[in-house]
Amino acid sequence: MPQQTTEIQNGKYRQRRRGVRVNSRVPVAIEWTLPDSTTQRQEAHTRVVGPYGCLVVLPQDLALEQRIQITNLVNQNKVAAVVVWKGNRRPEGWELGIELQNPRMDFWGLELM
């Protein structure tokens, strides 16, 4: 999932996410470059969004640390991103945690603060 920080509290490690996360189905386009320098593009949708990332369901399986560009198809905002988590394959595609790189706070067009 999107970037987390680790804290030690009462002698135990605890994960803390950056920012608010909300369930939201946003249509997106994911683009990435293959080793032969061709660009692939796949449309998908989010399940959860936050100011620094999202959980996306993508028909195509991508590798961890794959660098991508994500486009919000509602408002056409684009941002560089990285696959930081791989979940299960569902009937509609793979669950992937995406971390946005230097996102604008209005990337999703939602109030997330």
Per residue in 39-96, pLDDT (tens digit) is 999 999 999 999 999 999 999 999 999 999 999 999 999 999 999 999 999 999 999 9
Q: Model's pTM, two decimal places?
A: 0.79
Does residue 18 or residue 54 have the better pLDDT?
Answer: 54
Tell me which amino acid residue 83 is: V
Domain spans of the chain, in order of start? 19-100
- In whole angstroms, give the CA distance from residue 22 to residue 34: 32
- In whole angstroms, give the CA distance from residue 49 to residue 76: 16
Nearby residues of 10 by Cβ (< 8 Å), 6 or more positions away:
none
Which CATH number applies to 19-100? 2.40.10.220
Residue 104: per-residue pLDDT: 86
Nearby residues of 99 by Cβ (< 8 Å), 6 or more positions away:
2, 3, 52, 53, 81, 82, 84
Place of tokens 């990332």: 53
Asked whether residue 8 carries a pLDDT value surpassing 90, the answer given is no
Residue 46: per-residue pLDDT: 96
Q: Give me the mean pLDDT over the 3-15 stretch.
A: 44
Residue 109: per-residue pLDDT: 80
